[in-house]
Amino acid sequence: MSHPQHGRIGGGPDQRIPGVGEGRVWTNSSAEIAIFVIRDKEAATEDIGIILEGQEVVNNLASVANAVAILLGFLYALNLEYPKTLKLTFEYIQKVFMELDPKGMATKVKKLYDQLYNRV
């Protein structure tokens, strides 16, 4: 079995999180919320999934982009707050890419949006 390699969402001290399904054990920094990618020895993707509140809630996703969209859906449906360290990143994805409530952007998000789309 390959070793989990994942992008973390959030920050904090390392912790071990028992996975579900295949009995995977996740070592991650603050994996309250995370998207994980498991790669084989040739770096081909074997699995992509989501961890919420320390538990693997879904796996075998098609892509990281798909995982981000599903993660945003989980956060919305379960009424969870964005991780503080990535609050603005999630807000940008929500408001600009997904076009959900684009008028309510935080000042920093609006400034970045204006800079990227030359609206300064």
Pair (75, 87) in one structural domain: no
Pair (68, 9) in one structural domain: yes
Pair (23, 65) in one structural domain: yes
Instruction: Supply the pLDDT for residue 21.
Output: 43
35 Cβ neighbours under 8 A, 6+ residues apart? 6, 7, 9, 48, 49, 50, 51, 64, 67, 68, 71
- Give me the number of domains the chain comprises: 2
Pair (16, 69) in one structural domain: yes
Pair (40, 88) in one structural domain: no
Domain stops at, among 79, 94, 111: 79
Backbone angles phi, psi at 113, to 5 degrees: -55, -50
Backbone angles phi, psi at 44, to 5 degrees: -80, 145
Q: Which domain holds residue 104?
A: 81-120
Pair (73, 88) in one structural domain: no
Instruction: Supply the pLDDT for residue 10.
Output: 41
pLDDT tens string, the chain, 120 residues long: the values are 333 444 434 433 344 334 444 555 555 545 678 888 998 889 898 899 998 877 888 999 999 999 999 998 898 888 888 888 888 988 888 888 888 887 888 899 888 888 888 765
Pair (73, 43) in one structural domain: yes
Pair (16, 54) in one structural domain: yes
